[in-house]
Amino acid sequence: MKRRSLFEASFGATLAAATPPGMEPIDYGRSFLQGKWAENRVRFWVESRTRIIGPEVIDYYQCASCKSENTFAPKELFHKENYDFLPVFGPEDGVIFRRKAWLNSDYRQVRKSAEMWEGQTYKLVKPRGARLLRSNREIREATHAGVPIVAQTELADPSTGLRAIIEFPVKTMNIHDTRDLYQVDSGPVVFPDLSRRYPRPAESLRLAFVAFNAPGFADFVIEAPTPIPEGARVHHYSKLESFPAVNRLFACR
């Protein structure tokens, strides 16, 4: 029998004290949402989860981006004037992002989830094991071991009393062994504006990339209208924000 390393043996550690109830990491390699519409039971790969905690707790699932298409057409499957298409699903409301080559007015649409492929079926898988990484050394070891790493970034706004937990797989991890440093750089994720209470919480959602290299803060670059040469504007990741945060990293298998 192959002898297990100390790193592998530690996967059984409990997460009860490390993560909020009901917010254990999911397996982002095997988790999907599927539409209920008989004309197209589309399946989307889940890329991030954002939980907004206020008067109620609401989970939003951001799915992988695709391109605008003529679904099931005999030929010419992509739209001629193509655009990025990215859906976010919530229990009541969702968001559809359509990013065209120009600053299109229909870029972001909040819709009832029941109107998006007649609602969704959750096909979420938990990892076989997960371990909270409690130090830079453990983060570096997990990175070198080649195991999937899932991050949770928790934000709060005292002025509104709103909190959020953004969970995502770490797609890019920077490591400096001799200086005992790491830096997460991943996205897109669903970033919620917690500075005010929206009539529909889904209206607060934006797309962003997130970076952090310490437990207590997170930097975001948020997609926003952005000027380019010759006076034009496009949607681009350009709005920089930094927030106090609680960052957690989990090694999963």
CB atoms under 10 Å from CB of 56, counted, come to 8
On whether residue 13 sits in a domain, the answer given is: no
Same-domain pairing of 114 and 182: no
pLDDT given for residue 3 in this prediction: 35
CB 141 within 8 A of CB 135: no
CA separation for the pair 236, 238 (Å, rounded): 6
Same-domain pairing of 96 and 160: no
Buried b (16+ CB within 10 A) or exposed e, 20-51: eeebbbbbbeebbbebeeeeeebebebbbbbb
Residue type, 71: T
Task: Give the DSSP H/E element, type plus range, for residue 145.
Answer: helix 136-145
pLDDT given for residue 17 in this prediction: 39
pLDDT given for residue 230 in this prediction: 82
Same-domain pairing of 112 and 132: no
Mean pLDDT by 10 residues, the chain (253 residues): 38 43 90 98 98 96 97 96 97 97 94 97 96 97 98 97 97 98 98 97 98 97 93 94 97 95
On whether residue 40 sits in a domain, the answer given is: yes
Q: How many residues does the chain have?
A: 253
Listed residues 93, 123, 153: the one ending a domain: 123
CA separation for the pair 169, 186 (Å, rounded): 8
On whether residue 135 sits in a domain, the answer given is: yes
Name residues whose C-beta falls within 8 Å of residue 79's C-beta, 6 or more positions apart in sequence.
67, 68, 69, 70
On whether residue 16 sits in a domain, the answer given is: no
pLDDT given for residue 207 in this prediction: 98
Same-domain pairing of 145 and 225: yes
CA separation for the pair 252, 246 (Å, rounded): 19
Same-domain pairing of 105 and 154: no
**Number of domains composing the chain:** 2
On whether residue 9 sits in a domain, the answer given is: no
Same-domain pairing of 172 and 151: yes
Tokens of 188: 């897109």
On whether residue 201 sits in a domain, the answer given is: yes
pLDDT given for residue 15 in this prediction: 34
Domain enclosing residue 167, as ranges:
128-252
